Amino acid sequence: MSVDITELVRLRAERPEAIAEAAARRTRRPLLNDSGRLMIVAADHPARGALGVGGNRMAMANRADLLERLCLALSRPGVDGVLATADILDDLLLLGALDGKVVMGSMNRGGLQGASFELDDRFTGHRPEDIERFGFDAGKLLLRIDYDDPGSLTTLESTARAIDDMAARRLPVFVEPFISGRTTEGKVRNDLSAEAVTRSIAIASGLGGSSAYTWLKVPVCDNPDDMSEVMAASTLPAVLLGGEVGGSMEEQAGAYEKWRGALQLPTVRGLVVGRSLLYPADGDVAAAVDTAVGLL
């Protein structure tokens, strides 16, 4: 679909209450349908200042283009919903693109990409009360733990309290844990070794006063053959995160194969994928989404 930016801006300027009205009208569905699987398209990257895809550092900077790609992805059979920040979800509500879809609000976006405070990942996005008020279906938070950064303890504590607040509302929260660190150049890097991913899952699973509404959002580790042992660390339901895939069709095909194997594991219930589907190497969003759906 073509997005009329002029009309979106007019509604935002003249009738800001239209966003809440659209949320109240939205047709809702259960988190899981009869298949028990989830296919979610992620688009919460811009709020962290992470606009790049492959070699294009500003790929996600054009909001109309991003919204058109999202609407196309959401229209494809088998796509269950979207993960995004408030600004993007508000646009999608006004466009009527969220009826019958799972809507996940992104909760902590304070750790801006490349900032000295990147690992001080504060909750600057959706609060649990916002997700409840708009009738959204779940929340998502990122938990990066650096053993050399005392600030990680603050992140752990705030994450635990967010899990408590979501559980009190009986709202699912998807926790995306990593063991992270800084390179000699000061850049944050996530450790995707089997040991580190296993440890991150164990830590995330134990946060909060109840895990009843906690899901995990986990990467495929460096050696996909290790995923069976990695996912044995918890009984929490999990989805695989797509992450950023390289710019070639070969690299994208390799990512699909990694996901295919991990999706066979008993705790893995689906995929949450963003840039690799919205900005595929060949430009064909529909084909990339359909291929990912086929893995489920």
Question: What is the span of the domain harbouring residue 201?
Answer: 5-295
- pLDDT tens digits along 111-140: 999 999 999 999 999 999 999 999 999 999
Cβ 136 vs Cβ 170: under 8 Å: no
**Whether pTM exceeds 0.75:** yes
Q: What is the CATH number of the domain that holds 91?
A: 3.20.20.70
**Per the structure, how many domains does the chain have?**
1
Contacts of 277 (CB under 8 A, 6+ apart): 41, 73, 242, 285, 288, 289, 292
- pLDDT tens digits along 173-198: 999 999 999 999 999 999 999 999 99
**Cα–Cα nearest to 176, from 209, 210, 203, 137:** 203
| Mean pLDDT, residues 257-273 | 95
| pLDDT at 205 > cutoff 70 | yes
pLDDT classification of 254: cutoffs 50, 70, 90: confident
Rounded CA-CA distance 168/58 in Å is 39
